[in-house]
């Protein structure tokens, strides 16, 4: 027996926990503030990087993010995008800046019964929170980020590891772009992927 995906609706933040059919004082907004305020946390930063790219390319934010999709984002005209993030600074105490490396492993399509492992996106966007001062870091400031974009074909043709890519290797394949350049470069790289 196969069960269909559960469809989720966008929450407003004002929804409350309920116990014995009575509304408690705790809301979804309380949960969001408690669980995802640390934008430097690896898991939260990764989802935030997806949000940054989504805003730059006008993804419909009224649709709930799908945690288990084959790729992270899809544009209205069908460009499938995988987003990866890294940062020099982490939430925890550090003796030195983190070494930058991005995972590029192939993924399994959970909707395909064959469970084929491959790269399902057309384009990869590597988001680097490049700021390196803990006193002034703020992931909300787009100038503290830089973005590297590769067509999936470029990544598949890469002769070194197919599991990850270091910043040095990435910089040999792509130039950093700013937030306002994301959409045009993604579209340019997508054209490379289909030729």
- What is the per-residue DSSP string for 157-183? H-SS-SSEEEHHHHHHH---B-GGGHH
pTM of the predicted model over 0.75: yes
**What tens digit of pLDDT does each residue of 27-74 get?**
999 999 999 999 999 989 999 999 999 999 999 888 888 877 788 899
Percentages (nearest 5) of helix, strand, coil residues in the chain = 30, 25, 50
**What tens digit of pLDDT does each residue of 22-38 get?**
999 999 999 999 999 99
Q: Residue 9 has what pLDDT?
A: 85
Ranges of residues in the chain with a pLDDT under 70 are 1-6, 107-116, 161, 193-195
Give the other-Cβ count within 10 Å of 189's Cβ. 22
Q: Are 49 and 127 in contact (CB under 8 A)?
A: yes
């Amino acid at each position: 027996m196969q069960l269909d995906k559960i469809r989720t609706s966008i929450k407003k933040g004002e929804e409350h926990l309920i116990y014995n059919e009575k509304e408690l004082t705790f809301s979804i907004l309380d949960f969001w503030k408690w669980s995802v305020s640390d934008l430097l946390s690896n898991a939260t930063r990764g989802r935030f990087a997806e949000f940054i790219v989504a805003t730059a390319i006008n993804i419909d934010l009224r649709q709930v993010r799908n945690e288990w999709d084959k790729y992270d984002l899809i544009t209205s005209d069908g460009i499938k995008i995988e987003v990866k993030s890294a940062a020099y600074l982490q939430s925890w105490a550090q003796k030195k800046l983190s070494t930058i490396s991005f995972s590029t492993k192939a993924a399994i399509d959970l909707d395909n019964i064959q469970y084929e492992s491959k790269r399902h996106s057309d384009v990869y966007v590597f988001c680097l929170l490049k700021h390196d001062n803990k006193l002034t870091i703020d992931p909300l400031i787009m100038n503290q980020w830089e973005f590297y974009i590769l067509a999936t074909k470029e990544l598949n043709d890469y002769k070194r590891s197919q599991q990850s890519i270091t910043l040095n290797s990435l910089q040999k394949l792509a130039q950093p772009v700013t937030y306002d350049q994301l959409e045009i470069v993604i579209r340019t790289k997508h054209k490379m992927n289909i030729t």
